[in-house]
Amino acid sequence: MSPETETTTHSAEDDPRNADILIYVDGALKHRDDAKVSVYDSGFMLGDGMWEGMRLYNGKWAFLDDHLDRLYESCKAVALDIGMTRDQLVAALEMTREANAMHHDVHCRLMVTRGVKVRPFQHPSLSRSGPTVVIIMEHSKPVDTLQSRGIRLATVPQVRGLPMSQDAKYNSHSKLNCVIACIQAEQAGADEGLMLDPHGFVNTTNACNFFIVRRGEVWTSTGDYCMNGVTRRKVIELCRADGIPVFERNYSLVEAYGADEAFLTGTFGAQTPVAEIDGRTIGTEGGRGPVFRRIRELYKGLVDKDTA
Ligand SMILES: Cc1ncc(COP(=O)(O)O)c(C=O)c1O
């Protein structure tokens, strides 16, 4: 494995303040060194839990309702009772934010698992403590090289499956499918894995959603096999509102290799240019171009409006 000093899609600038952050664990705030969950926790033992990644701008969580909608929807689908109302969850976020005196350039991982089990086996009925809720907030500024250098993708054998295996729309603690893809990409010398769908169409990456630009048109996958990314949806809506042609459609690697621009979307990095796919250079500006720049500007404006 390459060290964290190398660029990944989630590389942030070192911030010494993160050494002493307070973490929310089931209602209590603990120094990061003391923030612990049980080895019997359903999340640790089975990956049985859901999470959201959110970003704080100007003291406000961008697109908070979208994130909470996704979290409550996926928990409902797996019969995981969060045990807290939306207002209570927002209050827990605020308590953690205030305790850490955080205002801007902060990333949060909000995690909910099925809680502590009475015996080390899979059946959900063994999880009887009620859910475990953990909130990690870190000072987080994506490194500049993500924008200046762009990301290298490698197409990997691991695919995103059909919804009746493990629906890609679950932001579950179990990310093994994505982790395997990431390992395969790393072993191929790339930063992140480009994953196909079960039919061989270009789908998504192991941690972000994926877009290409061809002759002024923005293309992304149909959305059937990838995370219903909040940033993905915002980019599509921004394109529509700004008159940029945007299509959720099937396309192949031939069309991805031949793209004029390509980029990833995700809460952490907003939009990150893709400089290379399987050794093929994308466009002439490391994946960037006029459409990428316009979308980034529009997205920044939307975040400013949402967090004003
Ligand atoms: C597999 C995967 N794809 C894409 C995303 C990006 O989603 P969002 O834009 O909501 O951050 C995430 C983020 O959690 C993810 O885990």
Splitting the chain (308 residues) into consecutive groups of 10 residues, what average pLDDT does each group show? 60 93 98 98 98 97 98 98 98 98 97 98 96 98 88 97 94 97 97 97 98 98 97 98 98 98 97 97 93 98 97
266 lines ligand 1 (CB under 6 A): yes
74 lines ligand 1 (CB under 6 A): no
Residue 219 CA: distances (Å) to CA of 19, 114, 211, 223, 262 = 40, 37, 6, 11, 9
Distance, CA of 251 to CA of 270 (rounded, Å):
23
Range 16-139 has CATH code 3.30.470.10: yes
Between β-strands 60-61 and 49-57, what pairing exists: parallel, antiparallel or unpaired?
Answer: antiparallel
- The class level of CATH for 145-306 reads alpha beta
Residue 20 CA: distances (Å) to CA of 17, 105, 106, 111, 141 = 6, 17, 14, 20, 17
pLDDT at 1: 37
Find, among 43, 97, 28, 53, the residue nearest to 267 by Cα. Answer: 53
pLDDT at 133: 98
Ligand 1 centre and the CA of 84: distance in Å?
A: 23
Q: Choose the residue to mutate in 209, 237, 303 for probing ligand 1, maximizing ligand atoms within 8 Å of C-beta.
A: 209
pLDDT at 30: 98
Atom of ligand 1 nearest to the CA of 52: 14
Domain span(s) for CATH 3.20.10.10 in the chain: 145-306
111 lines ligand 1 (CB under 6 A): no
Token pair of 212 as six digits: 């290409």
Distance, CA of 126 to CA of 117 (rounded, Å):
5
pLDDT at 143: 87
pLDDT at 288: 94
Q: Choose the residue to mutate in 70, 160, 208 for probing ligand 1, maximizing ligand atoms within 8 Å of C-beta.
A: 208
Beta strands in the chain (DSSP E): 22-25, 28-31, 49-57, 60-61, 106-113, 132-139, 151-155, 192-196, 202-205, 209-214, 217-220, 246-248, 261-266, 270-277, 280-281
DSSP 208: S
Q: Taking the model in full, what pTM does it have?
A: 0.96
Q: Choose the residue to mutate in 8, 151, 227, 299 for probing ligand 1, maximizing ligand atoms within 8 Å of C-beta.
A: 227
97 lines ligand 1 (CB under 6 A): no
Domain span(s) for CATH 3.30.470.10 in the chain: 16-139
